[in-house]
Amino acid sequence: MSEALTLAGRCLRMNRRDPEALFMAILLPVALMLVFVYFFGGAIDTGSAYVTYVVPGLLVLCAGYGSAGTAMRVTEDMRTGVVDRFRSMGVTGTPMLAGHVAASVVRNILATAMVLSVALLIGFRPAADPLAWLAAAGLLLAYLVAVSWLAAGVGLLARTPEGASGFTFFLMFLPYPSSAFVPIETMPTWLHGFAEHQPVTPLIESLRALLLDEPLGSAPWTALAWCGGILLIAVAASNALFRFRTR
Amino acid sequence: MRQPPHAAVEVQGLSKSYGDHAVLRSVDLRVEQGGVLALLGPNGAGKTTTVRVLTTLTDPDAGSVRVAGYDVVTERRRAQRAISLTGQFAAVDETQTGAENLWTTARLAGLTRAAARRRAAELLERFALTDAGGRLVRTYSGGMRRRLDLAAGLVGEPRVLFLDEPTTGLDPRSRRQLWEVVRELAAAGTAVLLTTQYLEEADQLADRVAVLHGGRIAAEGTPEELKASAGQTVLEVTAADAAAFARLEARTPHPVAHRSPETLTLSFPTRGDARHLRTLLDELDPGRDEITGFSVRRATLDDVFMALTGAPATETTGTTDAKEPSHV
């Protein structure tokens, strides 16, 4: 545990010296939000103010995009002699990756706060009580941890940071075929199956219901199950990968 | 209690293969407490793999490997606490400061926050990096980076230090500074195993040298013993032309220590006295018209290396061994 904290501190210090990456992680979701609200929003009818409809999806997109950056950082790390030094000191894969994941979570909490602030400025009007805010934050946190760890695993698999960055695109596009930007009913029928059952849909639905005080249904549990499942697989797979890649 | 007089490194019958490529074939090594062993070998000879096994990064396929008295497989944690590795690739973060790098490593070595801070300051001082300690490593010169890397390896006060090509890519001045540090450590009782492609480095630092070739230890001894095995003195002759070179080479009844068709030179181990030299020259060139020049010099580790491996130490291609996996 103290190993993981030391390593998280290391990753955070190193992040702080890479302001461009942090800036991108915040700027891109904010820019996307402005594009959707002001360029496309007028043409999309969701039955309410579009900014209010779109913010939960954007928060998830932002979280996925930010977490995916972990992949590149892990790949970068594996290319130096640092991993060998730490391993020769008895540090195993789990604390090594946990450090990256913790740093990713801190980074993304900052980015999420920024996106949310801008959203409130341009007219996002949530109707959530403190408990609902807390629940929403908890769900987003679960997603951040799960996706960051998955990204760390991808980072172990990739040979170059450029390769690892492909994962960022995958996670950025995942929210598009979901209810993030437009209601699923408006999509072609063949896409409904995927859009309704893919992992980010229940998460976006839960955040929307929690923040706008709408009926929740079973979405939060489905979302948590997805996050838990992804995390379990990511931890197991990345542990095996770490051993394999460092032998 | 463990019996105290164990060696710092004891390796017996170490074998390691990657797929069906045997990198190490029954290697035996021994480094006494406070001793410095240089592991010499051409690229692909298995030097890095040996270091990786000794520092618990890679498991051996066969053989017994003990460092500081602990088995690297069954007593991994204890072994890890007694050793330190400074590998071929710099193990410091470019975007942390020197002090932060040392602090991080010290914390991972189990020091408390306060102790880690003290240790970092101590090491910066010792390696003449105090002024640079607050700067990001990406602003450091190659020599400073290497010193920091070595310093980071010393946070846990290791009993056995492993250095994999510690001075590759350093300028001569930084190289000498690093040698000085290694000498001080050895004088203070730290055992050192270093790999190198520079024979001068082995000659300068090591009290014992092992030559690794094709995954086997081809020779082992003090630098003096090894040089003696190549003949105390070497006669180097220059042929008149390529045809003369070929005839000389075909005619000689003596072991050739070194041949270089490009410069038309051949060298032979000799006893060094005038009588032996005269006989040798006569035997080589009875017509007295094929040798245009000669020189006599003391044998170097280069000659040993050539004699044992058939390749100059710094040659990077042309060995028959496949390259070791790079682990990058």
Per-residue pLDDT tens digits for A197-215: 888 999 999 999 999 888 8
- What is chain A's Cα-based Rg? 18
> What average pLDDT score do residues B104-127 get?
94
Compare B249 and A103 and report the one with higher pLDDT. Answer: A103
Find the residue in A nearest to B75 (Cα).
A90
Percent of chain B with pLDDT over 70: 90
Q: Which of B58, B90, B107 sits opposite A80 (nearest CB)?
A: B90
Residue B198: CB atoms within 10 Å: 18
**pLDDT confidence of residue A20:** 83
- In angstroms, the CA B78 to CA B68 distance is 9
- In angstroms, the CA B41 to CA B23 distance is 13
**pLDDT confidence of residue A44:** 82
- What is chain B's Cα-based Rg? 23
**pLDDT confidence of residue B64:** 94
Cα distances (angstroms) measured from residue A132 to each of A110, A128, A137, A210, A228: 20, 6, 8, 5, 20
Whether the pLDDT of residue B320 is over 60: the answer is no
Q: What is the DSSP string of B218-238?
A: EEEE-HHHHHHHT-SEEEEEE
Residue B327's pLDDT band (boundaries 50, 70, 90)?
Answer: very low
Find the residue in B nearest to A79 (Cα).
B328
> What is the nearest CA distance from A13 to chain B, expressed in angstroms?
7
Interchain proximity A6–B91, CB inside 8 Å: no
Whether the pLDDT of residue B328 is over 70: the answer is no
**Average pLDDT, whole number, for chain B?**
85
Residues in chain A: 247
Cα distances (angstroms) measured from residue A40 to each of A27, A35, A115, A126: 19, 7, 18, 21
Compare B102 and B199 and report the one with higher pLDDT. Answer: B102
Whether A53 contacts A33, CB under 8 Å: no
Please check whether residue A87 touches B, CB under 8 A: yes
- Which of A96-100, B24-28, B257-261 is predicted least confidently? B257-261
pLDDT, tens digit, 9 for 90 and up, residues B8-23: 999 999 999 988 899 9
Whether the pLDDT of residue B4 is over 80: the answer is no
Please check whether residue B105 touches A, CB under 8 A: yes
Interchain proximity A90–B96, CB inside 8 Å: no
Q: How many CB pairs under 8 A join A and B?
A: 78
Number of H helices, E strands in chain B: 11, 14
Whether the pLDDT of residue A4 is over 80: the answer is yes
Percent of chain A with pLDDT over 90: 39
> What average pLDDT score do residues B203-232 get?
86
Please check whether residue A3 touches B, CB under 8 A: yes
Interchain proximity A14–B105, CB inside 8 Å: no
Q: Which of A7, A17, A79 sits opposite B95 (nearest CB)?
A: A17
Find the residue in B nearest to A84 (Cα).
B57
- In angstroms, the CA B3 to CA B15 distance is 27
pLDDT, tens digit, 9 for 90 and up, residues B40-74: 888 888 999 999 999 999 999 999 999 999 999 99
- In angstroms, the CA B233 to CA B35 distance is 28
pLDDT, tens digit, 9 for 90 and up, residues B222-262: 988 887 776 668 888 899 888 888 888 888 766 677 788 88
Q: In a 3-state reduction of DSSP, which class is residue A128? A: coil
Residue A161's pLDDT band (boundaries 50, 70, 90)?
Answer: confident
Interface with A, mutate which of B104, B159, B165 (most A CBs under 10 A):
B104
**Average pLDDT, whole number, for chain A?**
88
Percent of chain A with pLDDT over 70: 100
Residue A239: CB atoms within 10 Å: 16
User: Locate tokens 């594996």: which residue?
Assistant: A78
**pLDDT confidence of residue B54:** 94
A168 Cβ partners below 8 Å, 6+ apart?
A65, A68, A69, A71, A72
Whether the pLDDT of residue B314 is over 70: the answer is no
**pLDDT confidence of residue B310:** 66
Residue B311's pLDDT band (boundaries 50, 70, 90)?
Answer: low
Q: Which residues of A touch B100 (CB under 8 A)?
A: 10, 13
> What average pLDDT score do residues A62-68 get?
86
Whether B41 contacts B309, CB under 8 Å: yes
Find the residue in A nearest to B112 (Cα).
A2
- Which of A98-112, B205-219, B311-325 is predicted least confidently? B311-325
Q: Listing from the earlier edge strand, what are the strands of the sheet with B265-270?
A: B258-260, B265-270, B233-239, B291-298
> What average pLDDT score do residues B303-308 get?
74
Residue A45's pLDDT band (boundaries 50, 70, 90)?
Answer: confident
> What is the nearest CA distance from B208 to chain A, expressed in angstroms?
25
**pLDDT confidence of residue B317:** 36
> What is the nearest CA distance from B162 to chain A, expressed in angstroms?
11
Residue B321's pLDDT band (boundaries 50, 70, 90)?
Answer: very low
Please state the pTM of the whole predicted model. Answer: 0.81
Residue B192: CB atoms within 10 Å: 25
Compare A159 and A229 and report the one with higher pLDDT. Answer: A229
Interchain proximity B91–A247, CB inside 8 Å: no
pLDDT, tens digit, 9 for 90 and up, residues B264-294: 888 887 877 888 888 888 888 888 888 888 9
Please check whether residue B49 touches A, CB under 8 A: no
Please check whether residue B115 touches A, CB under 8 A: no
* β partners of residue B11: B29, B65
Residue A9, by phi and psi: left (phi above 0), alpha (psi -120 to 50) or beta?
A: alpha
Interchain proximity A82–B91, CB inside 8 Å: yes
**pLDDT confidence of residue B231:** 67
Question: What ipTM does the predicted assembly reach?
Answer: 0.84
Residue A141 CA, distance from chain mean position: 9
Contacts with B, A 6-45, CB within 8 Å: 6-7, 9-10, 13-14, 17-18
Bridging pattern class, strands B160-164 and B9-18: unpaired
Residues in chain B: 328
Interface with B, mutate which of A84, A96, A100, A244 (most B CBs under 10 A):
A84
Cα distances (angstroms) measured from residue A14 to each of A8, A83, A148, A221, B293: 10, 15, 17, 36, 61
